[in-house]
A and B are shown apart, each in its own frame.
Chain A
């Protein structure tokens, strides 16, 4: 059974720092992995999608990597800003017939001015 873990659960950094959020999964047979951002009381915003055949994806100040064999993904945020404060969630879609998204509990990020 696929399980997704995100560490740390919470993170507080000063503005301008580069930071890394971690996501690990127990079953390497995934179809893709997606990173999302959630602001308090709001829905989810898709940040990056990495297919199982890819090693990384980049969008602006965000870079996500995927190491399927070790069951890990990282989300790198460069030059963090207060507007980056949110909860970051990763979700994996398993290979096979049932490709529902399986979620970590998220990392709550606070970027302090």
Chain B
């Protein structure tokens, strides 16, 4: 059974650009959550999607957005990148909301 797949694994972008990250959950899982991990802040919740609907949202600016497709794959987009957006972005897959969470390897975003 394939795990959670995040692409790309690494990204380098310049300030002001935008970026799209992708997450394919475990087959049969319908809930996808996104987290930002930085050394100083730890893991911070971005948003959660279930059945193509955003169910929860964290305290991030509107530059951070996401969506979920009918096959449960999810994308998150960050526009007008800032240096402080450099982080490891992790995607969690759950069968349904509130069940055991399984994580991908993450996308390491560096903004220069």
Contacts and interface: CB of A to CB of B under 8 A. Distances in A.
30 contacts: A31-B98, A32-B98, A34-B101, A41-B88, A41-B108, A43-B6, A43-B104, A43-B105, A43-B106, A44-B90, A44-B92, A44-B103, A45-B103, A46-B100, A46-B101, A46-B103, A49-B100, A89-B43, A91-B101, A99-B97, A99-B98, A100-B33, A100-B56, A100-B58, A101-B33, A101-B35, A102-B45, A103-B43, A104-B42, A106-B42
A36 B33 CA distance: 16
Interface of A: 31-32, 34, 36, 41-46, 49, 89, 91, 93, 98-106
What 9 A-B pairs come out closest when comparing CB atoms? A44-B103, A103-B43, A43-B105, A100-B45, A43-B103, A105-B42, A49-B100, A43-B106, A99-B98
SS class of chain A's interface: helix, strand, loop or mixed? Answer: strand
A45 B102 CA distance: 7
Q: How large is the interface on B (under 10, 10 to 19, 20 to 34, 35 or more residues)?
A: 20 to 34
B109 to A, nearest CB: 13
Given A89-B43, A99-B97, A101-B43, 14 more contacts: A32-B98, A36-B103, A42-B106, A43-B105, A44-B103, A46-B101, A46-B102, A46-B103, A98-B56, A100-B45, A100-B56, A100-B58, A103-B42, A104-B42
